[in-house]
Amino acid sequence: MKVKPKVTFGSHRTTIYVSLVFLVLAASLQALVWAYWQNVLEPRLRHEAASQAKVLAHSQEIRLVDAILDTSPQRLQGLHETIDEILLFTDAASKEPLFLGLGLEIDYDVVSAERGSLDLQYGMKHCQDCFLSEVGLYSPISDELIGIARFHVSDRLFRSLSRDVHKTLFIQSRLGTLLLLVVWVIVIFLIRKINSSRRQAEIANQAKSAFLANMSHELRTPLNAIIGFSELMGYDTDLSEKHRENLAIIHRSGAYLLDLINDVLELSKIEAARQTLTETAFDLYEALDKVTEMIRLRAEKKNLVLEFERTNDLPRFVRTDERKLRQILLNLLGNAVKFTQEGGIALRVRSEKDDFDGTADGDTDSGFDALRLYFEVEDSGPGIAAVDRTRIFEAFTQTEGGHLKGEGTGLGLTISRQFARHLGGDIKVGGALGQGAVFEFTLLAKPASASEVTSHRPARRVIGLKPDQSTARRQPIRILVVDDHSENRALLQQLLKRVGFAAKPAENGREALALFKQWQPHLIWMDMRMPVMDGYEATKMIRRAAAKMLVPPPVILALTASAFKEDRDAVIAAGCDDFVRRPFRESEIFNKIEAHLGVDYIYEYDESPSTETTPSGNVSVDGLRSAITLLPHSVIQEFKTAIELSDMDRMAQAVAEIGEVHAALARGLKELVDTFQYDRILSYLDDVENSPVGNPGATQ
């Protein structure tokens, strides 16, 4: 599958935002420069120019005063000449006159002259752009004010100065804007570069996810067929012991391969931070017993002693992720068995209160109380060298012993440590080389009550539907199996038909839609990834078709090989009622059908250890009772008579006859016979005979 990069608007948005910021900055810079010029620089320049004009004008005071106070008859002519000379002064730079106009106003109370005779006006009287400077003319002898001279000073200097400063300022501001532009280009370039790298990383991540999803699907699909068919064939009573053993090897190998795939996927989920915590309340004692029982078999094969100790105060019911705890324990104990050649293995479990609110008095009522569970797995194996103690928790890393064994992926301890940390604890390893290894791990759990613990329904084998489990018209329950893999279709069809359902196959979504319209199944097992039309599309189309046809909508159960929760969420979002992860167990299929259609099954026997087990530990009371109901009445009567007469030969004969019909039941009954539990057999047979339903097998 080719991974297409997602076109995100995020990067474009960032570019636009950054560009806007720079645009605002550039506009602000221009506005600031303009405001600075208008409000600060230009007024200051004008003020400076006005001051200059005043100084210039003031410098002419003495000459004018001298001319005015001249008492000779040529005073007026002298005054004219002085003013003419003043108006001749030019600016050295611009070669333009400095003074554009000059007017005199004389105080004739002080100056002895005919009134108005000296009030002269030269040049411009009114000048819009000039600087007007009024200069008081004081007598140098008496310091009296003798008159006022009004100078119109050219603003030429101001204009040229203003133009130069304005040009400099705006060149600098343009440079600032240019610099801003350069920075903007660099920032945009960097953003694009970062976005490109991020997109590459996203593509790589998507490719990885796609690879995992593909691997998950492509590996689980054939594994489903291997495990499923080997399981199904195991029920065939005609198989020879040799074939049964071979089949068991196939089944075990498939299961082992599935474990390896699960390990790799689990690590991928950890690396992608996609692992989820599923906390449930469960019976810790029972969980520990199950684990130790599983390991005990393997230990006994190697003549190893498995010791299990738990402290008296260890709570029986706790709430944590049971699956993860079981996986850690199985991994550590499995490793211990694998590497220990003689001696034994010990599992020790204890608990302590763990007060989250940090109070030292241990008053758990005051805060959220929790338990810290301590597990210790000790073995008498070769031990782990000090240098390996950190390395063993790294992915795909094994000790020298592990390499020599050539088993495992080197992921078990990595996953176990991540799980322990995810559960609020950690794993550490102790011991010494040549003296065995000690793995200790802790995790947090909450106390639970017995009522919270949902009883684990034993995985019993369904062997048929109870009578009157058909539809109103006495038709069998119709189930459509949609899967593009023929072997998977065949497996599921066989399972369903064996029990008594009517099952039809469809190769893809389009075929399923056509069959739905024609056959209207009660339930559809829908593979989600198929060619032509996938399960998502088919589910939607079938839902639409049901509404259009005004028929009850079918229950659609998804079969998904995906290991990721998001994919399962997508399945539900597409309109499926539920899902089962592939490879599935037979019991999961039947349990889901039961949950959604409310059917009742007839079971053969329990596969899990129970409180009421036969001496061999693999047949439960319920299982035996259910299986006996299938026996013909004559067989039950014959078996009863044989037991009542304590006739061993007739009992053996009856068991052999039963074996022809139900091998597993026969094995269970034989164990009871061999251990002389006749009373128990009789009670089962009586129960079946006296039950109101009776034994349906008698009527078949």
* Site residues (vs other proteins, CB under 8 A): 51-52, 54-55, 58, 105, 107, 109-110, 134-136, 138, 141-145, 148
Number of neighbours of residue 327 by Cβ within 10 angstroms: 20
* Residue partners of 147: CB distance under 8 A and separation at least 6: 68, 104, 105, 106, 107, 111, 118, 136, 137
Q: How far is the CB of 23 from other proteins (least distance, A)?
A: 45
DSSP 341-391: -SSEEEEEEEEEEEETT--TT--GGGS-EEEEEEEEEEE-SS---TTHHHH
Identify which of residues 69 and 619 has a Cβ nearer to other proteins in the complex.
69
Q: Which strands make up the sheet holding 121-123, listed edge to edge?
A: 121-123, 99-106, 145-153, 131-138
Angle, alpha carbons 116-119-123 (nearest 5°): 145
Q: The tokens of 677 are what?
A: 């539990």
Identify which of residues 59 and 168 has a Cβ nearer to other proteins in the complex.
59
Q: What is the biggest distance separating any 2 CA atoms in the chain, rounded to whole angstroms? A: 177
Identify which of residues 108 and 285 has a Cβ nearer to other proteins in the complex.
108
Identify which of residues 110 and 545 has a Cβ nearer to other proteins in the complex.
110
Q: How far is the CB of 142 from other proteins (least distance, A)?
A: 6
* CA 371/CA 444 separation, integer angstroms: 6
Q: How far is the CB of 67 from other proteins (least distance, A)?
A: 18
Q: How far is the CB of 120 from other proteins (least distance, A)?
A: 17
**Residue 375, amino acid:** F
Identify which of residues 143 and 313 has a Cβ nearer to other proteins in the complex.
143
Are the C-beta atoms of 448 and 319 separated by less than 8 Å?
A: yes
Q: How far is the CB of 164 from other proteins (least distance, A)?
A: 22
Measured CA distances, 21 to 102, 175, 183, 304, 371 (Å): 55, 18, 12, 73, 54
Identify which of residues 107 and 612 has a Cβ nearer to other proteins in the complex.
107
Identify which of residues 54 and 517 has a Cβ nearer to other proteins in the complex.
54
Q: How far is CA 152 from the centre of its chain?
A: 82
Q: The tokens of 584 are what?
A: 């599935």
Q: How far is the CB of 54 from other proteins (least distance, A)?
A: 4
Identify which of residues 105 and 369 has a Cβ nearer to other proteins in the complex.
105
Number of neighbours of residue 154 by Cβ within 10 angstroms: 24
Identify which of residues 123 and 147 has a Cβ nearer to other proteins in the complex.
147
Summarize the chain as % helix, strand, coil (round to 5): 55, 15, 30
Identify which of residues 51 and 449 has a Cβ nearer to other proteins in the complex.
51
Q: How far is the CB of 25 from other proteins (least distance, A)?
A: 41
- Long-range contacts of 187-196, Cβ-Cβ distance < 8 Å, separation of 24 or more: 187/18, 187/22, 188/15, 188/18, 188/19, 191/11, 191/14, 191/15, 191/18, 192/11, 192/15, 195/10, 195/11, 195/14
**DSSP conformation class of 452:** G
Look at the chain and count its residues: 700
* CA 629/CA 96 separation, integer angstroms: 129
Q: How far is the CB of 80 from other proteins (least distance, A)?
A: 23
Q: The tokens of 164 are what?
A: 């130069």
Q: How far is the CB of 104 from other proteins (least distance, A)?
A: 12
* Residue partners of 639: CB distance under 8 A and separation at least 6: 651, 654, 655, 658, 669, 681, 685
Measured CA distances, 549 to 473, 669, 690 (Å): 20, 52, 47
Identify which of residues 134 and 679 has a Cβ nearer to other proteins in the complex.
134
Bridge partners (DSSP) of residue 353 are 371
Q: How far is the CB of 42 from other proteins (least distance, A)?
A: 19
Q: How far is the CB of 185 from other proteins (least distance, A)?
A: 50
Are the C-beta atoms of 132 and 152 separated by less than 8 Å?
A: yes
Q: How far is the CB of 144 from other proteins (least distance, A)?
A: 4
Q: How far is the CB of 20 from other proteins (least distance, A)?
A: 48
Are the C-beta atoms of 461 and 603 separated by less than 8 Å?
A: yes
Return phi, psi of residue 347, to 5°: -115, 120
* CA 345/CA 354 separation, integer angstroms: 28
Q: How many helices (H) and strands (E) does the chain have?
A: 22, 18
Q: How far is the CB of 157 from other proteins (least distance, A)?
A: 14
Q: How far is the CB of 86 from other proteins (least distance, A)?
A: 17
Identify which of residues 150 and 199 has a Cβ nearer to other proteins in the complex.
150
* CA 428/CA 434 separation, integer angstroms: 18
Identify which of residues 66 and 407 has a Cβ nearer to other proteins in the complex.
66
Identify which of residues 110 and 385 has a Cβ nearer to other proteins in the complex.
110
* Residue partners of 205: CB distance under 8 A and separation at least 6: 272
Identify which of residues 141 and 550 has a Cβ nearer to other proteins in the complex.
141
Identify which of residues 52 and 494 has a Cβ nearer to other proteins in the complex.
52
* CA 393/CA 490 separation, integer angstroms: 42
Burial readout 429-454 (b: 16 or more C-beta within 10 A, e: otherwise): bebeeeebbbbbbbbebbbbeeeebe
Q: Which strands make up the sheet holding 555-560, listed edge to edge?
A: 502-506, 478-482, 523-527, 555-560, 578-581
Q: How far is the CB of 161 from other proteins (least distance, A)?
A: 16
